[in-house]
Amino acid sequence: MDEFDLIEHAFRQRASFVHKLTRLPNGDDASIHAVPEGQEMVMSTDISMTGKHWPEDFPLNDAACRAVNAAVSDLAAMGATPAWMWLGVMAISSDDADQMGQGVAMALESISMELAGGDIVRSPVNALSVTVAGLLPQGSGMRRNVARIGQDIWLCGDAGLAAHGLRQWQQGKHEGNHVPYFRDVRPLLNEGTRLRELGVTCCIDVSDGLFADAGHVADASGVALHISLEKVRGFPSLLTEMDEQEAIRLALSGGEDYSLLFTADVGQRESMQTFARRIGECRKGNGIHITLNGRKVNVVSKGYDHFS
């Protein structure tokens, strides 16, 4: 089977949804898309690779599905509605490409996203380069550089559970109770849209660990983020399964959470607490300051670095 047939079979046939704003779909030199007046296009790109973003023995269909969902999480963090995806597929074999195609189709179907283009190449390693596009009303995109002193810090989702699941998998516990948290990435799209509609302006997706991603907000906004770890969803359940030091490490630096961290004015607490946990506050200063039941927590590991 040649290059053209392969991408056709493994990907295109399984992902046939065409977005209503597409003017020329997959199959020409390029695809063409309309962006309605008053809307803006939101774009992000992520690479995911065997051995870096999932274990060598992880099923490739699940891996590809989570690669797509992880990329889409960046759209959720902006408050965007996903529309299109472009895929660079590196596959060791046609069988591997086929399995990745299954996973990609599974992810796309659950979020009504179009596979608008792709390219495939035989490679010594299985990897996916995923570029996603979403839409949102002009000027409403949430960003990381607008946290203000006095605002609350909120976390929608949990921290550390996916990293714990990954560790269980790596220890051979493939049916481990936390493995699904790692395997099934669910981008918080509805939540992101709702936050944007509620007027939230500062939001980031937590993918490299709470400590590293909160750090991006602090650095970009020029404020200090004070976080009470005991308030973070997921952390208490980690404590029941491991010692405190390890639970802290997973919750702060484990990565792969795909939660949304955002800030909001104190007056908005009532609307926020239905779908997020208030975990701290923005103060004058810089950096991330973590406490656990009032005690200061020193963080050693900064976050997961895929280029290592």
CA distance 308 to 303: 12
Kindly state whether residue 89 participates in binding a copy of itself, applying the rule CB under 8 A: yes
Which string of x and - marks every residue 138-157 that binds a copy of itself (by CB under 8 A)?
xx-x-xxx------------
- The Cα–Cα gap between 154 and 264 comes to 8
Q: Note whether 78 binds a copy of itself by CB under 8 A.
A: yes
* The pair of three-digit structure tokens given for residue 171, joined into one six-digit string: 């220890």
Which of residues 11, 15, 42, 290 is near a copy of itself by CB under 8 A?
A: 42
Contact region for a copy of itself (CB under 8 A) — 33-41, 167-175, 267-275, 291-299? 33-41
Q: How far apart are CA 14 and CA 136, in angstroms?
A: 27
Nearer to a copy of itself, 220 or 239 (CB): 220
Our CB check for a copy of itself shows the closer of 65 and 71 to be 71
| Shortest separation between residue 114's beta carbon and a copy of itself, angstroms | 11
Is 240 a residue that touches a copy of itself (CB under 8 A)? no
The pairing of strands 295-297 and 287-292 is antiparallel
Give which of 189, 75, 93 is closest to 141, Cα–Cα: 75
**163 scored as a contact of a copy of itself (CB under 8 A):** no
Choose one: 134-142, 166-174, 175-183, 281-289; the region binding a copy of itself (CB under 8 A): 134-142
Angle between helices 60-78 and 94-111 (to 10 degrees): 40
Give dist(CA 182, CA 162) in Å, integer. Answer: 4
3-state SS class at 307: coil
**Tokens of residue 156, six digits:** 């929608």
* CA 55/CA 60 separation, integer angstroms: 10
Residue numbers at the binding site for a copy of itself (CB under 8 A)? 2-3, 6, 23-24, 27-35, 37, 40-47, 49, 52, 74-75, 77-78, 80, 84, 86-90, 116-125, 127, 129, 131, 133-134, 136, 138-139, 141, 143-145, 204-205, 220, 305-308
